[in-house]
Structure 1
Amino acid sequence: MAATLIIRPLACFSSPPPPHPSPPLLHYASSFRLWTPFFRGGSRILSSPFNNHDFLRRHSSSSSQFPSLTALSAIATGPDRIARFDSQESDTDPISIFNDRILKEQYSRRASGRPNTESDSGSSADVSNEEVDKYIQMVKQQQQRGLLELKKGHMLRKGGSNNGDANFSYKVDPFTLEEGDYVVHKKVGIGRFISIRPSIPDGETTPIDYVYIQYADGVAKLPVKQASRFLYRYNLPNESSAPRGLGRLKDTSIWEKRKIKGKVAIQKMVVDLMEVYLNRLRLRRPPYPRNPAMAEFASQFPHNPTSDQLQAFIDVEKDLTERETPMDRLICGDVGFGKTEVAQRALFYVVSSGKQAMVLAPTIVLAKQHFSVISERFSNYPNIRVGLMSRFQTASEREEYFHMIRNGELDIIIGTHSLLGSRVSYDRLGLLIVDEEQRFGVKQKEMIASMKTSVDVLTLSATPIPRTLYLALTGFRDCSLISTAPPQRVPIKTHLSEYSEAKVISAIQFELDRGGQVFYVLPRIQGLEEVLAFLEKSFPDVEVALAHGQLYSKRLEKTMTRFVEGEIRILVSTNIVESGLDIQNANTIIIQDFQQFGLAQLYQLRGRVGRSNKEAHAHLYYPNKLLLTPAAKKRLEALEECGDLGQGLQLAERDMTIRGFGNIFGVQQTGDIGNVGIDLFFEMLFESLSMVDVHRTHPVSFKSVKLELDINPRLSSEYINYLDNPIEVVKDAEKAAEKDTWSLVQFTVDLRRQYGKEPYAMESLLKKLYVKRMAADIGITRIYVNGKTVVMMTNMNQQVFKMITDAMFSDTHRNMLAFQAGQIKAELLIDLPKDQLLTWIFQLLAELHSALPALIRY
């Protein structure tokens, strides 16, 4: 007689006692190999062959090209692996669909430097709700102060009051509209402005002005007084791009969906930013000890620091010596105002405490200058070793540097983005200094962002990108402003005029006659040779040279060195000279076709001169004023207005206005602004920022979730015989689900990789685990069925529920849901069999779970 072994359900599948005994979880005959030793690498099922970093790197060339779980399950694990139990996996398998989404999200988060759902390596600590509450409230208060400052500036630019009670809004003044301009009405959508015409309202005798707007299905008219309250600009300033379609007066449903999509996108951006900084609360590093030697180091600074510099020194010192969380501070100072000295004192603190520091520059030229300045500043400290890594070095020299960095033989490492490469491994990196972050590419910025959760970061910028400035104003990062000019500095004199050879020759001759040097900058490489020939002909006794990024590295290095040393009198270049160069004797810069540069670039280029006590001149030439775009004309006005020293911050604000707020969060390419228009988008953004403390969900523990479904699947003996150790498989599934969603996804990927797609009963067991895990993440504590109603008890509030349902993709699921007094109810139209009901609940929770990126989870 065959013996039977019954294994009772594990804790994770427990439910309220049913009216009849629960069927066994596993039921199989005595032929089952219960304690057979692992074979064919069987233990691999329990420890993932995909560690988090390797898995994401090997299977993700981009976040948009992620392998499906169907493809992953087809990967063989070895030549002796027996055929899979069931290799047929449906493309619509709900677990696969959910896993694919989590894997894509996880890769995207890692690529952009945001915290992952699994625990990151490094020193971390649990964060109490009280700490998170305190931080969120602090950020909210800082945001409100920052928004108030932006609001004041906006009101002043409009010529209105700057009192703080006014609502921050970018609603349009209808009298500034021109025929054909696109406008947005909050309730109807996007329309095209026709005109303002007087008309007599019904029942009145006096005409009033009406705004006439063309929509897809007709023309609407709106009293001017109402228009000023309800209309918004669609386009970024100085742009005229057309929307995908006009709104409809008789059917606003498409417009409502657009608004919801924009709102969710905004909320996700806000949460992404919040999570980076909230995650810093989890990280710990011992405060640096106050070093008595700092006083001696500071005394070697050859100038008297300005009051702003002194405050920046204090700010950085407090960040390093009084905080346990890593520093992330922006030092915003005009060109030559002393940012480098602030950075060098931070370097001294960190390096003298036994840590390494990296100084990252956007160009080789600037990196080399940093190396010269820092080497000179630390020349009295032979135990502090400074190194420069660049593409000018040979392969053997670079290999030697890799070795020295890895073994801790270099204390301060200076270079370009090559320092962020995978081959550079640091022994004890403690500080990252980034100069002119806006000059780096998207991938480099992502790498920099990823480091901000593990080391102290100091960012230097003379003209911050709008996003950086906005974050500084609204409390997402600490900022120190250096706006006081050194006493010996003289303002740069700016000349703007139409190009002529005679003007150029006169400007250059003036500088040469007083023994100085000249920068001659063009927006592109094409044309440099022509200018070089013209200058060599005009100044035959003066050495003129070219500098641009496509030159052979040794030649570029030699050229820049000779210019710094004064051998070359005129340097013809692209904007490779834009950032950070400090050449005391160069006091005239010629910028040809200036209209092709951005405002921030122009300001940086102009700052290449005027580094001494001589009056410097910046000559900006355009080909023909009639050809200038409105944006180029505004750049002209801005440069003329911001001619005084220390106006970099104000200039960046003006640049924000010209370029539009789209660059603040890097969303111009996403289409989210295009859905609703620029002004409404950012009004929604400000609203979201003001509610950071509301859009927050509170996860619960996996074990606290009660799933009251009378479903206890039974695994077949065939599948049990197929598994290497079914008891451990089920236990590990429960452990993974209890830990977090990412661990459960990894477990399932590994299971399917080794054994193929699981049969129906095992899939049901996994679905139950997934349902409980998703419920725990969302903050649902109990799920039960009452007739045709699925009831979910939750700790979320009405506003969080609204945000979650807005983010759902399925109208069917959204329309079934209702929220009342801590309960989410889903009304079914028909009674479903238990197995179908489990799948339906899984899909519903997967929809709810997909909204979590729009919520702060602490």
Structure 2
Amino acid sequence: MSESHAEPTTETAHLAPGLVDAAFGSKAFAALWKRYRREGTVTLGHVCREAFGFATAVTLKATQPCRTWVLCREARTQEQTHADLQAWGMPAMFYPRAPQGDGPNGLSDPDTQAERISVITRFSGSPSEDEPAARVLVLCTDSLDEQVPSPKDLDSFKKSLELGMKIEVEALLQELEASGYERMPTVAERGQFARRGGIVDVFSWQGEEPLRIEFFDDEIESLRTFDIHTQASVQRLLRAQLLMQQVDASSATTALSTLFSKDDAVIFIEPVEDDVQAVPQEVKRRITITAGAPRDDDDDSATEDYSAAIFENPLGIFHAGDFVVQEARRIQFTKQVEEWHREKWRVVMFFHNEGERERFEELVGPQWLAAQRMELTLGLLHRGFTVPAASLAVLTGAEIFGRHQHTRRVRGSKLDEAQVLRQARDQMRDMKEGDLVVHLDYGIGKFAGIEVREGVKREEVMVIRYADQAKVFVPLSQSHLVSRYVGVGGKAPTLNKLGDARWGKTRANAERSVEEFAARMLSLAAQRQTLQGFAHPPDTKWQVEFEQSFLYRETPDQLRSIAEIKRDMELEKPMDRLLCGDVGFGKTEVAIRAAFKAVMGGKQVAVLVPTTVLAQQHWQTFRERMSDYPVTVEMLSRLTPKKREKEILAGVKEGTVDIVIGTHRVISKDVRFKDLGMAIIDEEQRFGVKHKEKFKELFKLVDVLTLSATPIPRTLYLGLMGMRDMSTLDTAPPNRIPVQTSVSGYDERVIRDAINAEIQRGGQVFFLHNRVMDMEKMKAKLEALCTEARVIIGHGQMDSELLEDVMQTFINGDADVLLCTTIIESGVDIPNANTIIIDRADRFGLADLYQLRGRVGRGGERAHAYLMLPRDLMTGGDARKRVNAIKQYTALGSGFKIAMRDLEIRGAGNLLGTEQSGHIVAVGFDLYCQMLKATTARLQGRRAPPPMEVTLHVDFLCMSEAEWLEATDPEAAPRKRVTAATAHRPADRQKLVTAKEWRIPAFIPQTYMEDARSRITAYRMLGEVLTRKELDSLEASWRDQYGRPPEAVEHLLICAAMKLTAAAKGITAIDIKEGKLMLTRKGGYVLVGGKFPRLTAPDAPLLLRESLHLLRSF
């Protein structure tokens, strides 16, 4: 797990600490610090909640250089205080709370555990000028009672590594195994290591990222972190530490509170008496920050001291929406700032981005701004406040724009798009012993593992069993000809017989069917290309401002996707693009920007959603986001009152309504647009076939943007194969943390503990019970289990107005538990809901479970999902397999993998239409898709055969390790060497040499990739390379993961480059024999001057390179 924090701009970095210094040095605060130095304790009273972070930053100036504990009552206060300290230039560490509900029925959380160990190690270590954050720890008071490993034990577990250090590789591996690390082919999680030649990968128990150690002999040549998903190196290091023992409950031997030292300082934020008592008495330096009144010695008669108070800003809080209200608020704002200016106050205003600042300057005008001497800067503050003692007013863009950003700790990882797409495809092709597979030439068989085959030549092969116990042995270098079988339904297909004609006929029928299907699909796509749509104009100034006013930092994927969508919109042909992104990865913002662009072009936009609740939320989001601009956004659904509906329909017809959001009500006959330019379809997989057909009919001439988190497999594969334009969002936004997922039998203790834990941290719970008939009974049971919980019921059979009231009650925080059906599955966005309990999880499909789990964890805090199964289903079966898949894919951005697993478990079904199902059963889905891809390329005029169809025979190459070992046997008889260097000599002068001297290796040796499955994957990837750029990228990834390629791999890569070059030139066969380069094109040989080109290089490696050079010259 990697963690980072939003970086302030240079401007903020200079300004923020200065404001802290100004408050710290003011007269009132100086008196407090004088008292603190004298007595060791002091209270900052009358501090508004918005300023807790600022007050803590000021207070830390007083506690320096002591090690300081910042104790908060609630997780929400802890999160906000930590984020604010970063904004004010005061680095601090964050101590995550123990995962709630962890135990025999829950999942351990390695990310949280690793972060906690890392924090304890750094906080209890020696002071470091390089890491000032290690002197300040922000935590919740209840964490003090948690059992943790002692710093002394942790120190004894550590092993330090640094660049240039001498260490025996084998000794390190033995030490890792003795310490409990598991040896794996590839490191995938903490507590694992892998060795590949001179490279050792290890994911330490406490590591935020795995470590790659590259050796030169026994010297550490390189230390670098790497991405667990892509396996690519990320950052080079000078030194690193490994934890040589797993830290679990048995090694947690001391309470966190025992780490206090008498020299420490403690800052309490809104404490109660128990919080104060939790800190050992010998810790004398104590500062309290509270919204209440400070008192002297608990004397109730003492006069309240407001001298160092920090108040809310006098402008109050408002929310975007009503333009008139905003105007009134802005008038009030300017008057207040002018008053502060007259009183010689310093007024500083923070904006989240440059666009927001420019918008503000435009609103108030440059002259007014200069006259008031306001300071404008960029920074991530939630709300403003005033400090009268320092004559300081701190404001944020929320005070004038009404949009409030909740700053959270930033965690996330980036998956390269090509890697994600390849992982999605590879997920299906991963083979285990016993899996059904399809060989291109022999048909459907069963994978029986990998073995070394002794025969004409000794080599490593994949073993595939066919009918009548027949076997086929496939060399690893030909593994690209084999794919895992995925068919339709649960019925296993019949294994093919070797030698009969059935597979050939089956394949021919499938290819014929694919041809017809591809021709029809391409015809539809071509037809759409010829339609005359509307070319939207380039971005306006308002578009630029609108995008810059986004309160969050866009992910690279969001920026790329909106650019792709805009490019399509600016063409005259109608757009048809799929935007595929994980749940909560920012699809809505991309859609909003596209809709805004359409409106700026004078067009109307229809936004279709599957549920009324989602329509309501989208309406509020679109309306708030566009509130600063003259854009009319309306909603049509069953909740819309008849009178209001009539007005909206009239507005749509007259063109006064710009954007209409709703359910399928939007495509009713009575909805007539004046000038519809774009349709946005959210959660496409939730609409029925009839609605989808109607979409095609109504939106034929307009731009269509389809949004989906787990696309129906047909849509996904058409996108992957290039038959439909697709944009992807694969990067987690900064405030998303993977959901901790637990699978267990139905257990009321787990339910009780999970609900109580969530309520205690100020959050809310979804309890999904998909049976309306006994919901009241379940409600009574939950209320008996959790007496403090406020439980409400919501389901689709309720009266529409009542359902809306229920959802609004929950959204407003007036209920703790929403006992509901799957109405929450599509797009419900309630950031405060951080726990979901799914009763009878076995009754849901994998895609459904994935969507449901995505409803929690949207507010930046660690979320929990509890999947409950009947105890008799816990042992296995399809439902258990489906639920376990959700547990497996805890990483963000795994929607593609989920779609793949769902496809595998439920079968391909009518994936490509009913008439294609039989052919998918016959040849398997993966091979069917390969056929479709190849046919599509051919029909589109891309005639060059893919590289795997180019045959290569070279008389001086050994293409397998076994062949090479045999050829280099020292007892092999000398043989005549006839190559380019000797072929022109008389026979009696030709040199007699051993095989080793005239043959060279071209394969992936076991010493380079030890694991056979890794070699299968490598050969398959090599067989699928289509461009030189892809080949270079593959070589770079091998170099990074396995070290410098040996001679055999370098020769294999040259062979791949030769096949690529030949394919591009229409050459179908390369044969190098006795110094002649024989190339086949269109059934005939390629000759130069009527002869085969001759090779002249003096040795085999140079001959290979010369062959590639000659190929490129044709």
Whole-Å separation in 1 of the counterparts to 2:631 and 2:550: 17
Which of residues 310, 323, 328 is equivalent to 2:576?
328
Aligned to 1:344: 592
Distance 2:751 2:651 in 1: 49
Q: 1:472 to 1:544 in 2, by over 3 A?
A: same
Contact 1:430 1:455 in 2 (8 A): yes
Indicate how the Cα distance of structure 1 residues 210 and 409 shifts in structure 2: closer, same or farther if over 3 A, else same: closer
Q: Is the 8 A contact 2:448 2:462 kept in 1?
A: no
Give 1:310's aligned amino acid: L
- Identify the range of structure 1 (597-606 vs 365-374) with the bigger mean alpha-carbon deviation: 597-606
Q: Percent identity?
A: 40
Q: Which moved more, 1:557-566 or 1:386-395?
A: 386-395
**Residue equivalent to 1:307:** 556
Q: CA offsets per residue over residues 270-309 of structure 1, 9 Å max, x none?
A: 2333223222321232332431111222233222323332
Q: Per-residue displacement from partner, 1:437-473 (whole Å, max 9, x unpaired)?
A: 1111111222233455311122222233323322332
For the residue of structure 2 that corresponds to 1:176, the secondary structure is coil
CA gap 1:286/1:265 in 2 versus in 1, 3 angstroms: same
The residue that corresponds to 1:32 in the other structure is: none
Distance in 1 (CA, whole Å) between partners of 2:803 and 2:569 is: 38
Partner of 2:675: 428
- Using structure 2 for the length normalisation, give the TM-score: 0.42
Structure 2: distance between partners of 1:233 and 1:312: 32
CA distance in 2, matches of 1:262, 1:513: 59
The corresponding residue for 1:442 is: 689
1:468 has 2:715 as partner: yes
Q: Which one-letter code corresponds to 2:605 in the other structure? A: A
Offset, 1:630: 4.8
1:66-215 equivalence runs, <5 A: 176=434
Q: Does residue 375 in structure 1 map to residue 623 in structure 2?
A: yes
Q: Distance in 2 between matches of 1:616 and 1:396?
A: 42
Read off the aligned partner of 2:674 and give its amino acid letter. Answer: D
Equivalent position to 1:359, from 589, 603, 607: 607
Q: How far off its partner does 1:687 sit?
A: 3.6
Alpha carbons of structure 1 residues 631 and 228: separation in structure 2 relative to 1, 3 Å: farther
| Alpha-carbon distance between aligned partners in 2 of 1:336 and 1:195, rounded to the nearest angstrom | 41
Amino acid at match of 1:384: V
Aligned to 1:402: 649
Amino acid paired to 1:299:
Q
Is 1:291 paired with 2:540? yes
Whether the 8 Å contact between 2:743 and 2:884 is mirrored in structure 1 is no
**Inter-CA distance 645–155: structure 2 relative to 1 (3 Å threshold):** closer
2:487 counterpart of 1:236: yes
Shift of 1:202: 15
User: 1:542 offset after TM fit, Å?
Assistant: 3.4
- Find the partner of 1:610 among 834, 848, 857: 857
- Deviation string for 1:40-65 (max 9, x for gaps)? xxxxxxxxxxxxxxxxxxxxxxxxxx
Check the 8 A contact 1:356/1:412 in 2, yes or no: yes
Partner SS, residue 580 of structure 1: coil
Q: Name the structure 2 match of 1:89.
A: none
Q: How does 1:764-803 map to 2 (within 5 A)?
A: none
Question: For 1:261 and 1:656, how far apart are their aligned partners in 2?
Answer: 23
**Counterpart of 1:273?**
521
Alignment of 1:572-591 (within 5 A): 572-591=819-838
What is the CA-CA distance between 1:369 and the residue it aligns to? 0.5
Distance verdict in 2 for CA 1:695–1:500, change over 3 Å: same
Structure 1 residues 813-842: Cα deviation after superposition (integer angstroms, max 9, x where no partner) = xxxxxxxxxxxxxxxxxxxxxxxxxxxxxx
Matching residue's letter, 2:627: S
Which whole-Å CA distance do the structure 2 matches of 1:363 and 1:644 have between them? 27
In structure 1, what is the equivalent of residue 871 of structure 2? 624
Q: CA deviation at 1:569?
A: 1.8
Deviation at 1:337, TM superposition (A): 2.8
Q: Does 1:652 align with 2:903?
A: no
CA distance in 1, matches of 2:904, 2:523: 28
- Cα offset, 1:668, TM superposition: 8.6
C-alpha displacement at 1:235, in angstroms?
5.6
Q: TM-score, normalised by structure 1?
A: 0.54
Give, as a single letter, the amino acid of the residue that structure 2 aligns with 1:311.
R
Q: Distance in 2 between matches of 1:529 and 1:220?
A: 58
What's 1:478 paired with? Answer: 725
Shift of 1:557: 1.4
Distance, in Å, in 2 between the alignment partners of 1:550 and 1:499 is: 26
| Distance in 2 (alpha carbons) for counterparts of 1:482 and 1:186 | 34
Decide whether aligned partners of structure 1 residues 590 and 151 sit closer, same or farther in structure 2, where only a CA change above 3 A counts: closer
8 Å contact kept, 1:312–1:481: yes
1:671/1:523 CA distance change after superposition, 3 Å: farther
SS in 2 for 1:644: coil
> Contact (CA 8 Å) 2:606, 2:676: kept in 1 or not?
yes
Displacement of 1:433: 0.9
Q: What is the match of residue 786 of structure 2?
A: 539
User: Does 2:563 correspond to 1:317?
Assistant: no
Q: Contact between 1:188 and 1:252, CA under 8 Å: does it hold in 2?
A: no
Change (3 A) 1:210 1:366: closer
DSSP 3-state at the match of 2:743: strand
- Letter in structure 2 aligned against 1:236: G
Per-residue deviation at 1:512?
A: 1.3
Instruction: Judge conservation of contact 1:662–1:678 (CA < 8 Å) in 2.
Output: no
2:730 aligned with 1:499: no
How many pairs were matched up? 521
Residue type of the partner of 1:363? Answer: T
Moved more, 573-582 or 649-658: 649-658
Separation of aligned partners in 2, 1:489 and 1:186: 42
Contact 1:146 1:475 in 2 (8 A): no
Greater CA radius of gyration, 1 or 2? 2
Cα distance in structure 1, aligned partners of 2:757 and 2:898: 29
Judge conservation of contact 2:424–2:897 (CA < 8 Å) in 1: no
Offset, 1:618: 1.4
Aligned to 1:592: 839
Structure-2 change in CA distance of 1:148 and 1:499 (3 Å): closer
Aligned-residue CA RMSD in angstroms?
A: 4.1
Give distance in 1, aligned partners of 2:657 and 2:804. Answer: 23
> Partner letter of residue 298 of structure 1?
E
2:795 pairs with one of 548, 558, 561: 548
SS at match of 1:402: helix
Residue identity opposite 1:287 in structure 2? H
Highest relative contact order (Cα 8 Å, sep 6+), 1 or 2?
1
**Contact conserved, 2:763 with 2:816, CA < 8 A, in 1?**
yes
- Corresponding position: 1:389 with 2:636: yes
Cα drift, residue 412 of structure 1: 0.5
How far apart, in 2, do the equivalents of 1:551 and 1:483 lie?
A: 37
Q: Does 652-661 or 407-416 show the bigger shift?
A: 652-661
- Structure 2 distance, partners of 1:483, 1:201, is 46
Q: Tell me the SS of whatever aligns to 1:281.
A: helix
Q: Distance in 2 between matches of 1:211 and 1:484?
A: 39
SS at match of 2:939: coil
The residue identity in structure 2 corresponding to 1:508 is I
Structure 1: gaps spanning 5 or more residues:
1-144, 160-171, 697-858
**What SS is found at the alignment partner of 2:938?**
coil
Q: CA deviation at 1:565?
A: 1.3
Q: What is the Cα deviation at residue 224 of structure 1?
A: 4.9
How many Å separate the matches in 2 of 1:576 and 1:518?
A: 15
Deviation of 1:370 (Å):
0.4
Q: Which amino acid aligns with 2:620?
A: S
Structure 1 pair 695/343, CA: closer, same or farther in 2 (3 Å)? closer
Distance in 1, Cα, partners of 2:484 & 2:731: 37
Q: Could you tell me how far apart the structure 2 residues matched to 1:194 and 1:433 are? A: 44
Query: What's the secondary structure of 1:324's corresponding residue?
Result: coil
Taking the TM superposition and a 5 Å limit, the aligned residue runs for 1:697-776 are none
- The Cα shift of 1:318 comes to 2.5
